[in-house]
Chain A
């Protein structure tokens, strides 16, 4: 019995203290690629709705209000799977390393954004965000680079290579 106790004592004393005085001091840093709270960059968003389509908790709501599209991220239900960041074709959704999200008011976690839609010069209807239109290549570019199906933003991933080449 004393032999066992001695071995246990050796294990205890050969390992120094590893706990941190969190939250009174700094905690351990999270690693690279950590899936924390998401952050949305409204200047990059093209309102394609891909994030709302894959969200397993269906917390991304998109309201089509005619001349503007309203997007609501109800993040109190977020499971931090970061699927939205994975599928975002424009990199508008990024995962941050923020994990200390406790609050006594859940609306603190909501993100809302409004994207103004451009109006068609011919028919006068609102149809697409400015960001998405910017990413449609002109006719000359289409002929030169042979973009396939790039007339709508869903075909746009090929367009993103513009800067790279």
Chain B
């Protein structure tokens, strides 16, 4: 099988390498697909479903981040139906927890907020749940606010795959799912956290932040985490 293949993205013929995902090929060809849980260098998991695309000949939609390209594939990345589903996903995320953007440490630097604006989400058609979620301030340098967490698991993967510390995990099921530190310890009690901050920099929202930052002040830099991940890949 040739390593160089051709696929169609929104009708345009583009070249791709075997092993790439639809999301990667689309981004390389200037057709960015919205995504939240995907981060360069981390194993894709298809958690947020924002990158759902249509593949010709298939009845169901597939997440672009976990779907490898195949020769001759024809992918639709944007149309009214996909846009409708993406708006729905954003609205469900906003309604699920207390994303009070106005007083969030990541206001103006949040990928969820940006995605909502880009997709033209003006309001949420679903009833807000207003859950009683806790804020963990026990770590000496960092904060965890479950109210802002979208369970994308970027922190889980950055810690496990790049730092190798395996501090984070998603516990519970369904609507009761929660980011947990080790065996449900507080972050401050963690036995394995190296305080490297890779989880914080990988977090797309204000769920993980550094202490000492006020509203709108927390900017995230996931690129260095991606670069370290890339170095690891080329090692024998």
A and B: bona fide binding partners: no
